[in-house]
Structure 1
């Protein structure tokens, strides 16, 4: 007696079976048309069709094969399962760097997220993607545990010389890093004089997250704090999570005073 797992394995163990069943969902086809579609032998095609017919997934009239309602049901659900597993496989590597204790949403909300993976051959990919958002957004909110002078310069241009609204929560280490860079320190002081800029500092930032208008960017780091990948999504649930994280960090932070942003050298 076969089980549901037997039928799943029956399909999963042969791409030809999956393709034939999908083909028949689209329209009835003849034995020869199906054989040509999968590039299999006549014997192999005939065997697959007999196995489908034995499960009542198809009907046959001479050479003509047609899907049954149960066959279409199985095909649709199997295709959905394949899509879900494919999404999980795509996210498997980057999600290893997303701390599970920070997840208050179903990880499947990230199934369509853009993945920016840091590769040795293109170590600036995440920086470039982040800059694209910072240059094109009308409103930027975020919490960050890391900084680069190019981010400060970009924010300075878009806030002091533009209309972008910036609300950023940073760590003391980030503030110290800015202070050690004379240009970045000067630019941040000028930004803090603008009414469209609010920067505050707190030590309790668990992960770097940016909210760029409707999009959310999440930096993923390893146990040493090295950025390994980035995720970008416009999922509403993830955006609410990011906004909640931002609000909680900002509530615990103190505003940065322009007088304390003095370059060390």
Structure 2
């Protein structure tokens, strides 16, 4: 009997084998229907089906072939593995900066996420990505250890124009940094005074930088030295639910930002 690794290798070395097993796991097919679905030639299909029958992964009934219960098990498991590896490949270069200690969703939910990294021509690309989302978002929620000048300016302008509602939770250190700069402090004071904006503060460290703009979640990813390395955004439902839960938790534990804290 072949080892499990040998069977995995047998399946993985042929895209046609994977496609045929997936097709037969979905529903019975004739060889002609398999040819149309997969593009494999009839001789190739003959070899594949023979090999699958030897492993008891498929069975023939009349002119149709269908996956056996164990064949469906293999197809499902291989599909899961394929999805996992695709996700790992997408996240490989940024995985070390993901706030995985706070993430309660399956990482596979990020398989189709947009990943933005700095480049020589666009060193500020991760920040520009969140600015694009803020310019389009009508309902914005943020939990973060920082509030950069550009984001604050966009939010302040859109809330003032009645185009956006804003709920932000920031670490006390983030607000202190703004308060130490007179120009930024004035911009923040204007934002706090707007009826469509509410800001709250937490005294503890905030290990994430999460923005929810309508139905899109944006994450800033920083290295151990606090340097911005990438941004990830997605509209996946599970990630969106997680991000909203994170905001709700911090929101309930935070205290409102007192305008007196920003007094000149």
Provide the TM-score with structure 2 as the length reference: 0.76
Distance change >3 Å, CA 163–CA 99, structure 1 → 2: closer
Tell me, what secondary structure is at the counterpart of 1:228? strand
Shift of 1:178: 2.7
Tell me, what secondary structure is at the counterpart of 2:101? helix
Q: Paired residues, what number?
A: 254
Shift of 1:130: 0.9
Alignment partner of 1:223 is 2:224: yes
1:120-139 superposed matches below 5 A: 120-121=119-120, 122-139=122-139
In structure 2, C-alpha distance between the alignment counterparts of 1:214 and 1:20, rounded to whole Å: 37
In structure 1, C-alpha distance between the alignment counterparts of 2:112 and 2:67, rounded to whole Å: 34
Determine the structure 1 residue equivalent to 2:98: 98
Alignment partner of 1:82 is 2:82: yes
Query: In terms of mean alpha carbon deviation, does 136-145 or 12-21 score higher?
Result: 12-21
Distance change >3 Å, CA 56–CA 249, structure 1 → 2: closer
Shift of 1:4: 4.1
In structure 2, C-alpha distance between the alignment counterparts of 1:182 and 1:231, rounded to whole Å: 32
In structure 2, C-alpha distance between the alignment counterparts of 1:101 and 1:77, rounded to whole Å: 27
Determine the structure 2 residue equivalent to 1:54: 54
Q: Which runs of 5+ in 2 are unaligned?
A: none
Distance change >3 Å, CA 21–CA 66, structure 1 → 2: farther
1:236-255 superposed matches below 5 A: 236-250=237-251, 251-255=253-257
In structure 1, C-alpha distance between the alignment counterparts of 2:57 and 2:244, rounded to whole Å: 48
Over the residues paired in the alignment, what is the CA RMSD in angstroms?
3.6
In structure 2, C-alpha distance between the alignment counterparts of 1:109 and 1:83, rounded to whole Å: 7
Shift of 1:158: 0.7
In structure 1, C-alpha distance between the alignment counterparts of 2:98 and 2:220, rounded to whole Å: 9
Distance change >3 Å, CA 113–CA 181, structure 1 → 2: farther
Determine the structure 1 residue equivalent to 2:174: 174
Distance change >3 Å, CA 217–CA 261, structure 1 → 2: farther
Query: In terms of mean alpha carbon deviation, does 204-213 or 253-262 score higher?
Result: 253-262
Provide the TM-score with structure 1 as the length reference: 0.75
Q: Which has the larger radius of gyration?
A: 1
In structure 1, C-alpha distance between the alignment counterparts of 2:244 and 2:212, rounded to whole Å: 8
Determine the structure 1 residue equivalent to 2:65: 67
Alignment partner of 1:164 is 2:164: yes
Q: Is the 8 A contact 2:162 2:196 kept in 1?
A: no
Q: Is the 8 A contact 1:19 1:38 kept in 2?
A: no
In structure 2, C-alpha distance between the alignment counterparts of 1:26 and 1:180, rounded to whole Å: 69
1:222-244 alpha-carbon deviations (Å, 9 max, x no partner): 11111222232334443343334
In structure 2, C-alpha distance between the alignment counterparts of 1:46 and 1:197, rounded to whole Å: 66
Q: Which runs of 5+ in 1 are unaligned?
A: none
